[in-house]
Every structure is written in C-alpha cells, then in structure tokens.
Amino acid sequence: MTSTKDSSSIEWLGERLARKEDLRLVTGKGKYLADIAMPGTLHAVFVRSEYAHANIIGIDLTEAESLPGVIAIYTGENIKDRINPMPQAIVQPNLSAKYPTFWPLAVGKVTFHGEPVALIIARDKYIAEDASELVLVDYEELPVVLDPEKALTRNSTVVHEKDGTNEIFSMTFTGGENEESQNSNEAEVNAIFDSAPVVVKERFKTHRTGLTPMEPRGVLCDWNESDGLTAYITTQRPHIDRLALSDILEISAEKVRVIAPRDQGGGFGVKAPFYRENIIIAYAAKSLGKPVRWIESRYESLMNVGQERDQINDLEIAADLEGNLLALRNEGIADNGVGTTGVYWGFVMPFLGAIELPNAYKWPKAHISLKVATTNKACLTPSRAFGHFPTRFALERCIDMVAHKIGMEASELRRKNLVDALPYTSVTNEYYDSGDFLKVWDTLVEKADVPAFRKRQSEALNENRYIGIGFGCGVELSGVASDLLVPMENQPGYGAATVRLDPRGKVQVFGGDAPGGQGHETTTAQVVASEFGIDPAAVVVTTGDTGTTPFGSGSIGARAGSYFVSAVADACRELKEKITRILAYDLKIEARAEHFEFTDGEVIYIGDRSKKSSFVSIVERIIMFPINLPENEVGGLDATAFFEAAKPMICFNADCCVVEVNVETGDFKILKWITTEDVGNVINPLVVDGQMHGAIVQGISNAVFEEFVYDDQGQQLTADFENYKLATAADVPNIDIHYATTPCPHTPLGTRGIGEGRPSSVPGALTNAVCDALMPLKIEITELPLRPNSIWEKIQQSKQT
Amino acid sequence: MKNIKLTVNGEKFEEQIDNRLLLVDFLRDNLSLTGTHVGCTYEGVCGACTIHLDGDAVKSCMLLAVQADGHNITTVEGLSAEGSLSNLQQAFNDEHGLQCGYCTPGILMNMADFLTENPNPSDEQIRHGLIGNLCRCTGYVHIVRAVKKAAKMLKDGAREDRT
Amino acid sequence: MYPAEIKEYHKPDSVEQVLEIIANHEEGESLLLAGGQSAMQAIKSRMLRPQCIIDLQDLQELKTINDESETLKIGAMVRYCELAKSSALNINFTGLKDAAAHVGDRQVRNRGTIGGSVCWNYAAACTPAAVLALDGSMHLISSGGETKVICADDFFLGPLDTAKSESDVLVSVSFKKPKTRSGSAYKKWGLVKDALPVVGIGAFVKLDSNGSCYEARIALTGMGVGAQRATAGETLLLGSDGDQQSIEAATESICANIDAPTDLSATSDYRYQLIRSIGTEVILTAFKRASI
C-alpha cells in the first residue's frame, strides 16, 4: 500500500535528501553529552591502574581528599559491599563461558593497564585531575599474561583465579550441537583435506585495532528521591543500560531513566557495551545527591575501549584443480583481554566472527572452532565489522592463495564458488535470506575489467613498476534477529517504533535505539513522508530516551534500515488503515486502504479522484473531532509497531582495489577503490554512500595504520593519537560506489540494514592487491597490519630465497 | 588568575580566569559556546577544537585562554549569522559532508581559513589541508566534495564567507 | 589532560622584559612559550609544570624575515606557515621550506615557530634537521644583554637538549648565503602523511663553476638522538655533480656510520632502507636545485 509513483510529486524513497540533522551540527548547535549543563554538576576523574597485573596492597587517599574542592573519593574496597558485582543476567549472553566477577572499581587487584581503581569527585575538572595525582596506590606486581596462545596453556598464570583457566570461551561452530556430531563432522572434513588435490594452510594474524569514535565516552547522572536516577550516557543501547543500572544498583526500574543524547559523536560498536563507568557514576550521583559528570579523555578511551580484532586464525582450504572449494577448516584463537565488560565480555565478537567466517561461498563441509583467551589487556570492545574483520581477512587471503596455487584468476575462483541461490544456510547455520550475489559480483568485475588490468600490469612490470588488483566480499548482517540476539546477547532483536500524528498533520516518531551520526532523523522522515504523502520536514524523530521511546536493543548490527524503518513503515500503515477507514466512512464510499493514495498532502480515493481530503484535515478530524465515527471506532492516531523478520536477513558487498607498490620501500598507494553493494532498496543514496565511504576508510585505516600495542610488561604504548595513528584525508583514496541491489522480500520497504559489517572485506581486498602486485616476487602476506616496513621485509626475504 | 579582554564572534568579553584554563574550555564552559569540541587529550592531533585566532585556524586545546587576551576569536557559531549558512556550511549540507558532526566544526573552521588561501584547490590540496582534522564517520570523500563545492560557490560570486 | 597550576603568566612586548622576568625567577621555574605546539603537549600531559609562563607572542621584533645580501635572518617567532610561503628561502634554503611546509598540519603551521622548534629540539623533528643541514646559526641574548651566536653543529645536543641556557632568549636563526650556486632539500617519511619523521633527511650542496660539489651537509632525524650530521656521507659527495654512483655511496656510508633504532615506528633495517631511498631523493633534488 505505498503511493503509486507516477502521480506523486516527489518520491521520498531514493531521494538524495540533504540531512535534517545538518543545520544544527554545522552551526555548532548540536548537543552532545559534554554539552549538557546541569546546575551544581560535580566532575569525576578516574584513577587508573599503572600496571597490567598487580595486587592492590593499599590506597592512600589522605592527600587527595584534603585538596580543596574534592568532594568524595571512591575505591573498590568502599563500594564492593554496596554495589552488586558483575556478571548480571541482563548484560550476559546465553552462552556458556567463564564470566569474571568484577566491580566498577578494581577490588583486590588490577588486571590491565588502565583499569579503574578509584573515582574522584570534585567541584571542578581541573581540580579532579590534580587530586588524581595525589592518590597513592601501593601495588604488588604479578606476572603478566600477554600471549593468547601461552595464556591457554596449563602452566600459565591465571588472570581471574577463581575460573582456574584463561580460556573464557570456546566453541565448535560446525557439525551440530553435540560433541559427537561435531567430531564426526570434523573427521569428514579431515578426510576431504587428506584427499584434496589442492590444500592451502596458513596462520593468519590480525592485530589489535578497532574503532575510535571522535567523541569519547561520557556519563552524566542526576538523582533525586522523587524521580530516581536520570543517566545521560554516550550509549548505543539506552534501554539495556537502564535495566542494567536498575538491577545492579537495585533501583526500581520505573525510577531509572537513561537518555542517549540526541547527538552522539559516533559509536561504531564502541558505545554498545554496558560499561563499569556507568555504574559508579550513577552510584556517586545517588550517594551525593548531586549531578555527577564524567567525560572520558582520549587517553582513557584508547587505554580501555575500541580494541578489537586481535585474532589468530589457522585456516585451511581444500579445493580441486578446477577451483571448486571442497572444505574449510579453521581454528581461531582470540586475545580477549580481561573480559570485564558487560553485554559482550569481549568474546562475543570472535564468536560471531567464527559464525560469519564462511562468507558468501558454498562450502560443502567445514570445521570451524574457536578458543578465546583472557590476557592482561583491555577487554575487546565491539568495533564495526564485529568479530569478523580478522576471519574475513584470513578467508579472503587464503582464497587468493588457493587461486595462485591453481593458477586461476582469484576473481574467477570467487565467482565459481559464490552462493548462487538464496535463501541459503551456511555451514555455521547462518541464514542468508535473500540477494543476488552473482549480480553484485558481476557488476564489480565488469567495472574492474581484469583482462585490461592484466595488460596494464605487465606493461608496468616492463617499466619496473608493480601494480596489483585485489578482491574481497562480505555477507553482512542486516539487523540481528531475535533468533541470534537472544542467545548471543540475551536481548530481543525486534525493531519498534511509535508513530504519532498530531492535529496539524505533523508526525512524531519515537525509537528506542540511539544512533550516532547515521542520519536516522532524515531517513526515518523520508519513510514517513513517503507513507503519508507529506514533506519530510513535517516529521520529527526522537530516539534514545527510555522515558519516551519503545524498547529497542540499540543501534547495533545495522538495525535501522532493516528493523527500525520496517517498524516505522508498519506503524504508518496501521495508521493509514484507520485513516482510510474513517475517510471512506466520511465520504460514504465502500473502500479499503489500498483504494486510497496518500500523496502531495492529500488522501485521494483512486476510484474517483474528486473524493479526497487533505491529509491535515482528516488527521485533525480523527484526533480532535472524533464524533460520527464508524461503529467500534475511536479517535486518536498513534501506533506502535514491532518488526521482527521471520528469518535473519543479510546484505552483500564486494570490493576491488588497485594498488601500486614501491618495491624499494614497501610503501604502497591505493590507486583505485571500487565497490558494488546490494543494500536493498535505498532510502537515501547520500546517506548510504556516506556509510560505505566511512566503513571502507575505517577498514583501510585499521588494516594499515592503526595498532594498539602493549609492551612485554603489559604497558599500553598507544594511548594517544600521536601513537595510535588514524588515517588522515591525505592517506586514503576516493571510493567509487556502484549499486547492484535487490529488494529485500522480508521488509515492508524492501530495505536492508547496512554499514555495520562493511569494513570486513577491506583488509583482504587490500592485502590481495598488494600481493597481486608482488606476484613476480611470490610474496604472500598473512599478517596485519599491512605496513611498508613489513612488506619491504618480505621483499628482502624473497630476494634471498 | 588573570583578567582577559577578547572578542569572540564579534562580541566583546571581559573575564577573570585561571592561568591554566585551556582556551577550548574557556569557550565551552565559560562562554557556553559548545560547538567547539574536544577529541583528544594532550596531543592536539584530532583538530575537533579548531577555531580562528585573528583569522588563522588554530587548535584551541593547544592554547591557554590567557593567550587570547586582546585577540579576535571566531568559533563555528560565528561562521554565519543566525538563520543563515555560510557557503561552506551549505556545501557540507548539500554534499553530506558530515555524519555524527563531532569533527565538523573543526573542519569548517580549518577549511574556511584554507579556502581564503586556496580559492581553487585540487582534491589533493584539500586532502592535504585536512590532515589536522580526523574524521571517523565519513571517510573524507564527501568532505572533499563539500569543500570543492564551497570553493566553486565562492568563485561564482556567492556572498562572502565571514571568517 | 589539564595543565598543573601555573602561578604566573606574562606577555612581555620586548626581549628586555623577557630577560628581566627570567632573571626574577629561579632556574627551572619559567618557560618561554612560542607557538606552543610542542610545549603545550608537555604542559597538558604535565610532563612540564612551569610556575611561570612567558608568552613570546607580542615580540614583534622576532617576527621578521630579513633577506640581506650576505645573510638570511629569520626571527625566532616566524611561523612555519610564513616560512612555507617565503620567497626568501627559494634560492639556497628550499630545504627549510620543504620542512616547514609539512610540519604537522595547517593548524600547527599557523602557530608553530622556527625558534620554538629549534629550542625544543624534539627527537623526531624536521626543523632542527633542516637548520642543521643548512648550517644555521642561532642568535641568543643573555640576561646581561650579551649576545652570542651558536652554530647548529654546536647548538643541537640531543633530544630536548640544546646549548641554549635557561636565561637565554633565542632571537633569530640566520643562514649565510653561499657565494656560489647551492641547493637544498628536505624530506621525511612517516606512516601517515606529514607525521613526525620516522626518518627525515636534509641535504645542502654547494657547487663550483663546473657544477662540482665542494661542500655538502647532510642532517638526519628520527634515529632517536635528535638532529645529527651525516659527515661520512657528506665526504662522498665532494667532487660529485650529482651522479648516481656518488649518491649511492653517500647513502651507504651514512647507513654504515649511523645507528638506526628499532621502535614502534620502524625496524632498524627499514630505517636504513629509508635513509637510502629518501637520502637519494633529497640529495638529487638538492643538486638539481643547485644547478638552476
């Protein structure tokens, strides 16, 4: 029941509409967490551990407490009997794992460099920092656990003693649920490998890197006896945070309100966990009866969050000489850090990464297993391409290596093995609902023109220039269905939206998720405008406030384009049913909703276009003048809809890049980056383009420039932007996007959620291009980061052999 | 403590402040001009705090407020009159040159200065000019387009940008 | 994140006043603040806790570039952005322009100064290496009013360490204009564009009427010891007209005679490779510029 296109003035779906958010953001009128002012606010600064692993012998607060302006100081000892420790069910997956016990401040010992040890509350943030220097902590150093493989051995020091092991989680993802069937599957896979004509086995390593939203975290809590706790948090998941705060601090849920500020400076997963800081700041506000504010410094941020990837994947592919993939075998080891972060506990990322490993290829058989190790490093926090950045790198590289071994074009080998009929269930039981992978792939390959490139490549080689082409692709989650989210995170996957019309024909939309720059105010407005035939300017979107919005699990996993806008469309359609019912009654005609068109601010009966009403007047009539209504009808126009896809949904993208490598220095330049996307029906191409650009550049920056480094004492060496290097505009290329979409059959608008997993195909595509350029030197790179230094070393090694 | 007199976005201020107060904190906390943002600690690399000091784009987190005594400061709030947008701001809106908007004020301030010195910039020059502004969301592609568009708007005789 | 307490802040408008204020304080108490792009990092991280800050921004006398017949004199408070645009550097001292145009970013170049950079002498900084390559001289005034000139070779002692004493004020950096054709260049490599140099090299060659090099200076940075001369390499350029063999021999000699560390940014071997690669480019460019 969408408006027919040929008679509407503007079809808002597919329109490159400039964003509504921009006006306030380009004029500096955005309101981020640090911009919210509350009279009487006190400022919080954390004292954080200087050691990676140490017992806390004592904490001397005397000097710090006596500094004028210091109001209170909390330590683990003085809060541990007053705050419930983690784990708490609300932020715990339904997965069997060794969940460490912890409080918001370290109790007894510290387990990573940067762990919060004390919290200082002062009148002024400068004074709070002065006081933090006066806190004296007496540590007794303990042996550090830093290597994930060593951590998993029997004689390793154990980080969380009560668990008796550093193996926080392990799983086999293939061969069914029980050990017997998994073992027999593994035996079958081994047999295939034993007899396969082509086998490539390699150890692929991805370093510790992740996302760093430009706005660090922050919490502002206010408490009064009457309303309870109001917590402003830089969070992607206000509704989950609210329940967690209620459970942990034992504040009855109706007295907890969490508000994610309307403007957030990026999330990318980093603001999705439930963090320790939320708990202790809320506790402080409640104890002191004054608003308490904590704004994270970039130093704290880099020390504590945004660290992800960090996996070893011992991956093998068996194939035949024609390039058919026969089997996949992978043993993953993830370095989890300490695991003390709610919702994900670090290991959920590699868990999903293993599930997504098979990617877009048909694997007759696979054996995929994972072990996750606890170490004395910051806990992994989700970062866009959640868990599968390393597994995609491993797989896409290995596929190229198989192609090289056979002597086949890597792009052709991929095409040969792409899933060609959907829906499809992968060997790890991941359901791919719809799409046309071959259409996406062929569109890319046409743009890439490999034969022409090979000609250019050989001409270049004659001039002693090394250019290369590399491919990669990614099946990405489009929203996360309850089927996956309930076991994985103990949370529902549905999208929910309240659509509320007012008597002036304006629309308010309420959603419980909390975006950080994805343009939801605009895309949502476009959807509503398209449904009701009105202008997007008439639509106002409210997100992230648990006091006013329906439940949402959060801005995660590309939920907006998949689940949220679907709920919005459904709610609009419910209202359109009611509007047309009453209008038909008023017009004294027998008609149903599909006989009406909502266009250009009017609701028109298609059978006789003279029978119509302006949108505003019929809406006003139903809300304000609900008399002479049909039987059993009541006034008001407000609907809340919940959308859950019957089956999990996906989107699909493919990348091709061309690079030139300077063999003298190993330095390389990306000459071209082309991508094709099946993002379903597009609401706003500007927004989608932007999501793709951003994701790809994040992928490049992660793969090449960024690395979190710990020294051999577990000291984090990269806690500022001088050392943790982000790609600047001068370091990354322009990106050429092409769309090869198929509408999603399971969403009301045919849209797909996009953008979350998008960076995952990048490291493989880029490394493949570099290796392709260096083919004459027979170099295969299996480790990230992809640095000129390491490329040059490989070149030197190849010269020696 | 020091008494400082300065002009911010055309308005005169006289304030009594601590010597160690950073200019960015003065603007945000004392003057409630929260459009200028803080994105890094002591390193001064991210550029989100970029403002104009006597017309030059500089990082306000790397200046003490006392250093601004006697000077002219422009922040993002001063790029255009209430109710209107400068060419650069309009171009960013047209070209989707921002997503979360956190780095945007710093980029607008830097590029406003950049365009006065480079009225006809190439993509490469724009990208080089943007080194001092980190953006996580956009991947810079639309930002470059927006700056290019603003340059064209200025050249085509659109009204002057205030700096 | 925030500076420690700063008891005094001064903004004098003459060098005399600066010297007076320094004299009124104990050693270690005062800090001269130029552009602040390095100093403020240290002050904000509390690595430095100056009791008294003397802001040099109003010292107009230190902000000029004097292009005289025999000497180019650059005021200590001249900013990178000004150096990057200055035509006075074009003939002999382009290397300094190369360095200045790529320090940090635009915002840094709008504030950072040549004087601040040479006095700070950060371990991996471009300007000290460029000044060392170009044989700059630092002109200082002491508390008693005495002036002294210290040549670059004697000025740069090590990371964050120079021959300037606390009671001195740097007023200018000067370069003697060569009587014959000469040319200079500077280039660096960092993982991201214009990052602090992992390896930075400046080269300065003077040619006789036959186009043959009779004097060469090469300076490096990024080796962890601050700006340093590569005299071994310089010798091998003498008599050369920029031929490939001599340049190769020069860069090899530099590698053989300089310690390159392994750190987060690069391995020792890679640094040597960068010395070869960038060194070749920079020396060639210097010769080319000298030949114009």
Q: Summarize the confidence of residues A92-98 as an average pLDDT.
A: 95
Please tell me if residue A69 touches chain C, with a CB cutoff of 8 Å: no
Q: Binning pLDDT at 50, 70 and 90, where does residue C30 land?
A: very high
- The mean pLDDT of chain C is 97
Give residue A4's pLDDT.
Answer: 35
Peptide bond into A748 cis (omega under 30): no
Report which secondary-structure segment, H or E, holds A402: helix A389-406
Give residue A7's pLDDT.
Answer: 33
Domain end (from B47, B78, B109): B78
CB contact under 8 Å between B67 and C57, yes or no, is yes
Q: How far is CA A322 from CA A198, A328, C134, in A?
A: 10, 17, 63
Q: Do B44 and B67 belong together in one domain?
A: yes
Collect all residues of chain C within an 8 Å Cβ-Cβ radius of residue B43: 41
CB contact under 8 Å between B110 and C55, yes or no, is no
Concatenated DSSP letters for A487-503? Answer: HHHSS---EEEEEEE-T
**A470-518 per-position pLDDT tens digit:** 999 999 999 999 988 898 888 999 999 999 999 999 999 999 999 999 9
Collect all residues of chain B within an 8 Å Cβ-Cβ radius of residue C53: 19, 64
Q: Do B68 and B131 belong together in one domain?
A: no
pLDDT at A9 over 70: no
Q: Which residue has the tokens 């709008």?
A: C110
CATH number of the domain enclosing B52: 3.10.20.30
Q: How far is B141 from chain A (nearest CA, A)?
A: 6
Q: Binning pLDDT at 50, 70 and 90, where does residue B82 land?
A: confident
Nearest to C106 among B22, B25, B114 (CB): B114
Please tell me if residue A551 touches chain C, with a CB cutoff of 8 Å: no
Domain A385-476+648-800, what fold?
A: Aldehyde Oxidoreductase; domain 4 (3.30.365)
Collect all residues of chain A within an 8 Å Cβ-Cβ radius of residue C274: 665
Collect all residues of chain C within an 8 Å Cβ-Cβ radius of residue B113: 106, 110
CB contact under 8 Å between A687 and B96, yes or no, is yes
CB contact under 8 Å between B132 and C4, yes or no, is no
pTM for this predicted structure: 0.97
**A67-90 per-position pLDDT tens digit:** 999 999 999 999 999 999 999 999
**A365-382 per-position pLDDT tens digit:** 999 999 999 999 999 999
Please tell me if residue B116 touches chain C, with a CB cutoff of 8 Å: no
Please tell me if residue B74 touches chain C, with a CB cutoff of 8 Å: no
CB contact under 8 Å between C264 and A722, yes or no, is no
Please tell me if residue B159 touches chain C, with a CB cutoff of 8 Å: no
Please tell me if residue B122 touches chain A, with a CB cutoff of 8 Å: no
Q: How far is B119 from chain C (nearest CA, A)?
A: 16
More confident residue, C199 or A647: C199
Closest Cα in chain C to B61: C40
Cβ–Cβ under 8 Å, residues A145 and A53: yes
Q: Summarize the confidence of residues A629-634 as an average pLDDT.
A: 96
Measured distance CA(A454)–CA(A40) in Å, rounded: 68
Nearest Cα neighbor of B115 from B78, B153, B72 is B153
Concatenated DSSP letters for A242-290? Answer: HHHHHHHHT--GGGEEEE--S--S--TTTT-SB-HHHHHHHHHHHHHTS
Q: Which residues neighbour A639 within 8 Å (Cβ) at sequence distance 6 or greater?
A: A498, A499, A571, A572, A574, A575
Give residue A490's pLDDT.
Answer: 87
Q: How far is A665 from chain C (nearest CA, A)?
A: 7
Please tell me if residue A30 touches chain B, with a CB cutoff of 8 Å: yes
Q: Which CATH number fits domain A49-142: 1.10.3720.10, 3.90.1170.50, 3.90.180.10, 3.40.50.300?
A: 3.90.1170.50
The alpha carbon dihedral of A442, A447, A453, A455 has a sign of positive
ipTM above 0.95, yes or no: yes
Number of domains in chain B: 2
Please tell me if residue A123 touches chain C, with a CB cutoff of 8 Å: no
Give residue A2's pLDDT.
Answer: 35
CB contact under 8 Å between B58 and C110, yes or no, is yes
Provide the token pair at A24: 């306030």
CB contact under 8 Å between A665 and C1, yes or no, is no
Q: How far is A519 from chain B (nearest CA, A)?
A: 7
**A318-338 per-position pLDDT tens digit:** 999 999 999 999 999 999 999
Give residue B159's pLDDT.
Answer: 59
Three-class secondary structure of residue B56 per DSSP? strand
Could you name the CATH architecture of A5-24+494-643? 2-Layer Sandwich (3.30)
> Does residue B162 sit within a domain?
no
Judged by CB atoms within 8 Å, which residues 388-417 of A form the interface with B? none
Give residue A753's pLDDT.
Answer: 95
Please tell me if residue A130 touches chain C, with a CB cutoff of 8 Å: yes
Cβ–Cβ under 8 Å, residues A147 and A378: no
Give residue A647's pLDDT.
Answer: 83
CB contact under 8 Å between A30 and B101, yes or no, is yes
Collect all residues of chain B within an 8 Å Cβ-Cβ radius of residue C41: 42-44, 62
Q: Which residue has the tokens 């002498």?
A: C121
Nearest to B131 among A32, A689, A729 (CB): A729
CB contact under 8 Å between A264 and B100, yes or no, is yes
Q: Summarize the confidence of residues A102-121 as an average pLDDT.
A: 98
Provide the token pair at A226: 């009457």
> Does residue B37 sit within a domain?
yes
Closest Cα in chain B to C108: B58
Please tell me if residue A789 touches chain C, with a CB cutoff of 8 Å: yes
Select the residue from C46, C47, C110 to test the B interface by mutation, using most B Cβ atoms within 10 A.
Answer: C110
Among A45-54, A254-263, A643-652, C198-207, the minimum mean pLDDT is found in A643-652
Asked whether this chain's domains A5-24+494-643 and A385-476+648-800 adopt the same fold, the reply is yes
pLDDT at A46 over 70: yes
- The residues spanned by each domain of chain A are 5-24+494-643, 49-142, 385-476+648-800
* Residue contacts between B and C (CB atoms, under 8 Å): 89
Closest Cα in chain B to A299: B41
CB contact under 8 Å between C40 and B63, yes or no, is yes
pLDDT at A1 over 80: no
Please tell me if residue A722 touches chain C, with a CB cutoff of 8 Å: yes
Give residue B158's pLDDT.
Answer: 66
Give residue C242's pLDDT.
Answer: 96
What percentage of chain A carries pLDDT values higher than 90? 96
Please tell me if residue B68 touches chain C, with a CB cutoff of 8 Å: no
Collect all residues of chain C within an 8 Å Cβ-Cβ radius of residue A731: 192-193
CB contact under 8 Å between B62 and C8, yes or no, is no
CB contact under 8 Å between C41 and B44, yes or no, is yes
Measured distance CA(C99)–CA(C91) in Å, rounded: 15
Judged by CB atoms within 8 Å, which residues 25-64 of B form the interface with A? 28, 32-43, 45-46, 48
Q: Binning pLDDT at 50, 70 and 90, where does residue A645 land?
A: confident
Give residue A5's pLDDT.
Answer: 37
Q: Do B8 and B47 belong together in one domain?
A: yes
Q: Which residue has the tokens 């590569």?
A: C230
**A136-157 per-position pLDDT tens digit:** 999 999 999 999 999 999 999 9
Chains that touch C (3 or more CB pairs under 8 A): A, B
Domain limits for position B110: 87-155
Select the residue from B4, B49, B54, B59 to test the C interface by mutation, using most C Cβ atoms within 10 A.
Answer: B59
CB contact under 8 Å between C1 and B41, yes or no, is yes
Concatenated DSSP letters for A160-171? Answer: SGGGSSSEEEEE
Phi-psi region of A429 (alpha: psi -120 to 50; beta: other; left: phi over 0): left
Give residue A10's pLDDT.
Answer: 66
Collect all residues of chain C within an 8 Å Cβ-Cβ radius of residue A664: 273, 276-277
What chain C holds in terms of domains, given with CATH numbers, is 8-55 (3.30.43), 64-176 (3.30.465.10), 182-291 (3.30.390.50)
CATH number of the domain enclosing B119: 1.10.150.120
Strand order in the sheet with C30-33: C8-10, C52-55, C30-33
Give residue A3's pLDDT.
Answer: 35
Select the residue from A301, A661, A665, A790 to test the C interface by mutation, using most C Cβ atoms within 10 A.
Answer: A665
Nearest to A665 among C1, C267, C274 (CB): C274
> Does residue B161 sit within a domain?
no
Q: Do B29 and B95 belong together in one domain?
A: no
Nearest Cα neighbor of C78 from C221, C199, C161, C175 is C175
Collect all residues of chain C within an 8 Å Cβ-Cβ radius of residue B132: 104-108
Q: Summarize the confidence of residues B93-110 as an average pLDDT.
A: 98
Closest Cα in chain C to A299: C1
Nearest to C191 among A664, A725, A793 (CB): A725
Domain end (from B40, B58, B78): B78
pLDDT at C239 over 80: yes
Q: Do B50 and B98 belong together in one domain?
A: no
Q: How far is B12 from chain A (nearest CA, A)?
A: 20
Collect all residues of chain B within an 8 Å Cβ-Cβ radius of residue A689: 96, 141-142
